[in-house]
Chain A
Amino acid sequence: MRELKILAVVTFFSVLIYILVEPFAHSQMHKHVEGHNFTYTGEADIAEASDEKKAVKEKFWSEVKTIASLKGDATAGEAGFGMCMGCHNGANMNMGGAIPPNLDHAGAIYDKNYLIALIKDPAMASNVDHKYADTMMHPMGSVSSMFTDDQSIADVVAYLLEKKAGEVTPKEAYKEACVRCHAMRYANLTQLGETPKFKHEKDALAHKIKVIDEQDAVKAYMGKLPPDLSMIIRARSESFLETFVENPQSQFPGTSMPRVGLSAEGYEKVKAYLTEIGDPSKPERERLGPWVLGFFIIFSILAFLWKKEKWRGHH
């Protein structure tokens, strides 16, 4: 009885320390950001916008809503998509900014509202309009001259959602949504994609120079080289990653990281890839855990019985 009382005291203080230095301290260190489950209605953008920008943003997102309610025609959208292919052609060529992403699974990983907003005004959709306040134009800014009426936007988005969807692997999702800025060295990925094997050092170095050139271009555009994401799944909390990817400005106001517009499903794919590379032991940990715990539970029971035998007659 007395031992249990002592155990209760020890447990109380241990748990108290844990709560104070872990959940409590972290809740004080990091501000709480509310997620919107990867839907894009501009709500957060309008709320955090400065007064003079509020009206513009409200108008923009209400127009997006209008377009979203139009019925898009995928067949008509195919022709429009041809214009996209001018840049989004998988040629790995930087045309200012970062390399235009491959859109093979755009319909499967990006949100519909976001796609509409992006075609209407890329800077607004990505919530980085503050970067283009002066004369600088968003690298995809010319899109507004390609899709001038609401119906054409609705059509091309319908085309993406119907024809550019399909099954997408976690790796494809990462390569389409992230790799143009974020290398992942543990997966052999740079801003140029997978690094091939070279037989001769000279070829390897030549490739490396191409990678550095691309990194310099991204650096010039973003202000600094976006971090390698090999270990990011363990370096940031789940809620941080979610809310940051959904709206980077919510965590770091003024950051040059654009919103990429992943849908909830798209984010799940990307997260699966980050986990596969950054925390590969997770499945094995989960498999082995119960066995080891079970072992020590049985061990403790046996040890208790042994102890009882040894102490028989001592009290």
Chain B
Amino acid sequence: MAHFDENAKPFGNKWLDERIGLNTLTRVLQTEYWIPKDINFLWAMGMVLAATFGVLLLSGIFLLMYYKPDANLAFDSVNYTIMTEVGYGWLWRHVHGVGASIVFLIIYIHMFTGIYYGSYKRGRELIWLSGMALFVAFSAEAFSGYMLPWGQMSYWAGMVITNLFSLGSIEAYGLVEWIRGDYVPGDAYLTRFFMLHVLLIPLVIIGLIVLHFGTLRLPHVNNQEGEDFDYKEAADLYKAGKVKESKVIPFSPVFLSKDIFVMGVYFILFFYLVFYNFEFAMDPVNFDPADGLKTPAHIYPEWYFLWSYEILRPFNKDIGLIAFGVAQAALFFLPFIDRSPVVAPAHKRKLFNIWFWALVVIMIALTALGKLPPEGIYNDLGLFFAVAFLCMGPLLVWITIKEKNEMKGA
């Protein structure tokens, strides 16, 4: 039976500690949540993502107040009511649009940091998997949100992406119609994607963020050298006042102080884009109202989906879909494709280093080609890089098995 001090001041430190374990929480989540000291600013991307999600949530709440999920009203509610009439409505919209785009830049940096430093192995598999689940959830959130202004790009992206679910030669158009609730993307479609965007997917994202943080606590985050050291020993050293010698720092306030500085710099870039350079995130074509009888001259997804969109393009429908599916799933299994027990930055792993930079180049090439018109040389390059991407998985298996054998041999 717990002891409760009758004289403790209500809502004081002791009073709270006895009721919700305030001191334990502070210790476990902040002052004695040990982070390795040997890290760089890339380790702040997690908090930058959390902050961006917060900004998206907040701006989204204010957009929700005047948005109308109705195929006849949606476009004008966004472009007239919110942009013209609502006080600072334009600010929320620009913040929301730019935030939705830039969050993927940070997600990709965060992912590639994980790959570069091998941070998905040795007890950190669940961090990677929950992170990938977050990537999928964010992708769904971005897509559903892209429907809402109900412009030309919204409509035709909705048309094309839902058609993927016809599953090629299986011709499951019944499934496509079920997803749309109509023969084409229409009112029912818009309203259900509105629901997904403002309720279901955000709930999933919040749950996954909690899980992602949870999977991080026991294995601790990786460090710049992939060094495995005794956290208890390092923590004792830190607590004994030998902060210089210790290999760890507490999450709060030491690690956090750096996070906040990185966030500040990030928000300079963020708001520069919001005020002065937003067209990359708010495509001009989407300022034409949805028209089911006219496809825009060029249609392409937002930049963060381009690489997977490009994998779809060079093949016939069935093979394209399979390639697309494989590409989406492949990254999930990274911790299991990589057979090497080595946890070290790529620049210390010869072949893996080449593999890593090749992956970066291939994905950037696919991204660029995904937006270029599918004609002439761009088609050939598209096929080349799509095949190259698909080869990267088996190649990694081979590289890492070799690495493992070399280790055994040494």
Contact = CB atoms under 8 A, between A and B. Distances in A.
Chains A and B touch each other in the complex, with CB atoms below 8 Å apart: yes
Contacts of B268: 293, 296-297, 300
Contacts of B399: none
A24 B284 contact: no
30 contacts: A3-B41, A7-B41, A10-B109, A14-B105, A20-B368, A22-B280, A24-B368, A28-B372, A185-B76, A230-B79, A231-B79, A231-B288, A234-B284, A278-B287, A280-B83, A281-B83, A289-B271, A292-B274, A296-B268, A299-B264, A300-B261, A303-B260, A303-B261, A304-B261, A306-B261, A309-B257, A310-B254, A314-B37, A314-B249, A314-B254
B9 interface: no
A284 interface: yes
Contact of A307 (B258, B267, B287): B258
A198 interface: no
Given A13-B364, A231-B287, A300-B261, A281 B271 contact: no
Contacts of B254: 310-311, 314
Contact of A296 (B267, B298, B303, B364): B267
Contact of B243 (A7, A236, A309, A314): A314
Contacts of B279: 22
Interface of B: 37, 40-42, 76, 79-80, 83-84, 90-91, 94, 105, 109, 243-244, 249, 253-254, 257-258, 260-261, 263-265, 267-268, 271-272, 274-276, 279-280, 282, 284-285, 287-289, 297-298, 300, 303, 306, 360, 364, 367-368, 371-373
Residue among B94, B268, B360 with max Cβ neighbours from chain A (10 Å): B268
A206 interface: no
A292 B271 contact: yes
Contacts of B287: 231-232, 234-235, 278
A111 to B, nearest CB: 28
What range describes how many residues of A lie at the interface?
35 or more
A306 B260 contact: yes
A186 interface: yes
A200 interface: no
Closest 5 CB pairs of A and B: A300-B264, A281-B90, A289-B275, A235-B287, A20-B368
A312 B76 CA distance: 54
Nearest to B90: A281
Given A6-B42, A296-B267, A314-B37, A307 B244 contact: no
Given A186-B80, A186-B84, A237 B284 contact: yes
A29 B152 CA distance: 17
A155 B145 CA distance: 59
A315 interface: yes
Contacts of B271: 289, 292-293, 296
Given A186-B80, A296-B264, A307 B284 contact: no
Contacts of A227: 288
A21 interface: yes
Contacts of A3: 40-41
Contacts of A306: 257, 260-261
Residue among A16, A231, A232 with max Cβ neighbours from chain B (10 Å): A231
Given A186-B80, A235-B284, A303 B257 contact: yes
Given A13-B360, A231-B79, A297-B268, A310 B368 contact: no
B364 A303 contact: no
Nearest to A305: B261
Nearest to B82: A281
A296 B289 CA distance: 36
A2 interface: yes
A293 B270 CA distance: 9
A16 B364 contact: yes
A13 to B, nearest CB: 7
B261 A288 contact: no
A175 B58 CA distance: 40
A221 interface: no
A18 interface: yes
Given A25-B371, A186-B84, A292-B271, A235 B261 contact: no
A71 interface: no
A285 B275 contact: yes
Nearest to A232: B287
A86 interface: no
Residue among A21, A285, A289 with max Cβ neighbours from chain B (10 Å): A21
A235 B288 contact: yes
Contacts of A284: 90
A17 interface: yes
A6 B91 CA distance: 32
A288 B364 contact: no
Contacts of A288: 91, 275
A21 B264 contact: no
A253 interface: no
A300 B37 CA distance: 21
